[in-house]
Amino acid sequence: MGVCGTAMGNAALLARAAGHEVLGADTGVYPPMSQVLAEAGIELHEGYDPIRLETLTPDLVVIGNAMSRGNAEVEWLLDTRAIPFTSLPAFLHDHVLRHRRNLVIAGTHGKTTTTALTAFLLRENGRDPGFLIGGVPQDPPVGNWLGNRSDPFVIEGDEYDSAFFDKRSKFIHYAPYVAVLNNLEFDHADIFRDLADVQRTFAHFTRIVPRSGWVVLNGDDENLRALGPLPWTQTLRVGVGEGCDVRIVDFAEGPTGATFRLSWFGGVWTEVSWGLTGLYNARNAAMAATAAVLAVTAGAPVARAQLQDPTFSQQAIDLAPLARFRGVKRRQEVLVSTPALTVIEDFGHHPTALAETLKSFRNRFSGVRITAVFEPRSNTARTNALQTGFQDALALADEVYLGAVNRAEKMKDGERFDVEAVTRSLASRGVRAISAATNRELLSDLLAATAAQREKPRLVVFFTNGSFDGIIAQYAAEAR
């Protein structure tokens, strides 16, 4: 149920690859996921119909976390108890992860890119890992793979809840051998009360890492440091700070990419020159590389003293393939690149992510006018919980276009993202801010401004975790 979601669709493909007969239902069954599923032999059904369930009598129903009470199939399953049901994370544990050495990539930001990087590095180093990536990677070329059962499984570990009947974070089900904690901030205001609530679920996650396993932490993140020493398992800290075991050194970026060095316990590991930019992506690479080193030692426990040999990482993993890594679609994906106009789409929906991306763009694109176009769409972004943070982040642009608040009618006035207040705040800081009643109207205003203001090269970056009502593709096609 909910088969066209990125995670659910990839899980369905894993089940099909394992030899199961798989059927899926969703509302708005559409490409590209519907096409990929159909090509894999997965029968797709539009909408939810309990009669169909009763007729088909599957052995198991996997319920996506977008489903809730009131759904016709959910109510039938609860009324009849005729067919066993489970959540997506529980299904993955029972049918994919239970007997694997799992690398679980968690954190508020960077999960998808870091998961793709880890799987890519292991494949490029001769391994055949399984993986499940919550996005559309360019490297590796697919988002899911069963791999060899003797090799690790790399999975994106989301802290969002598992299902309407299981409010635990998804990653609690994923049986980590290596748990990567990229960062930790308050997000998902619809299920977490505050930062301490988020820290609590991350602490629970670290509690299920075995004593022979590892927690790889962002050593620069104060919210992760607050979790404490984690004495029940082993830890490695990654970051720019002096106290980190794996360090990012001499980071620099420009129009064509970034360069930096990685050190391993004080020794030189490698120099990296690649097309991705932003210190956050360098950190993603360092976290992925560290996890990959630990993954190839899985099954042959290594004493920390042996691990601290500065040459250990070089012998374990070759990082030269990083130069070829192309990233993940919708993560700073360049849609248009001309001397006059650059258009980028980004899956940004948290103030920190927006701020870090805009700072990186200042370094990459000199002498351009930066236009940030933001859709308050996620369950947190459409509230006022992080509104001040969004104001500060968007103030890093030269001008801002604010899209319509998604599902605004379902929220109280005092809880909704206040577009007018944000517009006023930005104007007081000298940032031109424009809003519109609908995203279609916003597109018209943006196209008109682009046509009228040709005196300076322009960078337009769209931030959304959804479709933005299709205006991104239309702008890229019409504004060239």
Q: What was the pLDDT predicted at 301?
A: 65
DSSP string, 266-290: TEEEEEEEES--SHHHHHHHHHHHH
- Considering the domain architecture, whether residues 238 and 290 belong to the same structural domain is answered as yes
Please indicate, yes or no, if residue 94 is contained in any of the structural domains. no
What is the CB neighbour count within 10 angstroms for residue 125?
18
Q: Work out the pLDDT band at 226, boundaries 50, 70, 90.
A: very high
- Considering the domain architecture, whether residues 239 and 149 belong to the same structural domain is answered as yes
What's the domain count of the chain?
A: 3
Helix axes 439-452, 471-478, angle to 10 degrees: 20
Phi, psi (degrees; rounded to nearest 5) at 280:
-60, -35
Residue 109 pLDDT > 70, yes or no? yes
Please indicate, yes or no, if residue 95 is contained in any of the structural domains. no
Nearest CA to 349 out of 300, 297, 283, 394 is that of 394
- Considering the domain architecture, whether residues 156 and 292 belong to the same structural domain is answered as yes
pLDDT in tens, 438-456: 999 999 999 999 988 878 8
The dihedral through the CA atoms of 38, 43, 46, 47 has a sign that is negative
Instruction: Round the CA-based radius of gyration of the chain to a whole number and report it.
Output: 23
Q: Give the range of the structural domain holding residue 435, as residue numbers without chain letter.
A: 333-478
- Considering the domain architecture, whether residues 115 and 236 belong to the same structural domain is answered as yes
Residue 189 pLDDT > 70, yes or no? yes
Residue 411 pLDDT > 90, yes or no? no
320 to 121, 270, 272, 285: CA distances (angstroms): 9, 8, 8, 12
Please indicate, yes or no, if residue 234 is contained in any of the structural domains. yes
Compute the distance between CA of residue 140 and CA of residue 320 in angstroms, rounded to an integer. 15
Q: Report strand pairing: 369-374 vs 399-402.
A: parallel
What's the burial of 187, exposed, middle or buried (CB within 10 Å: 0-12/13-18/19+)? buried
Q: Report strand pairing: 144-145 vs 246-254.
A: unpaired
Q: What percent of the chain has pLDDT over 70?
A: 99
pLDDT in tens, 114-130: 999 999 999 999 999 99
Q: What's the CATH number where 406 sits?
A: 3.90.190.20
Residue 376 pLDDT > 90, yes or no? yes
Average pLDDT of 185-213?
93
Residues in the chain: 480
What's the burial of 63, exposed, middle or buried (CB within 10 Å: 0-12/13-18/19+)? buried
Give how far the C-alpha of residue 201 lies from the chain's centroid of Cα atoms, to the nearest Å: 18
Q: What's the CATH number where 26 sits?
A: 3.40.50.720
- Considering the domain architecture, whether residues 29 and 74 belong to the same structural domain is answered as yes
The pTM of the full predicted model, rounded to 2 decimals, is 0.91
Compute the distance between CA of residue 6 and CA of residue 203 in angstroms, rounded to an integer. 27
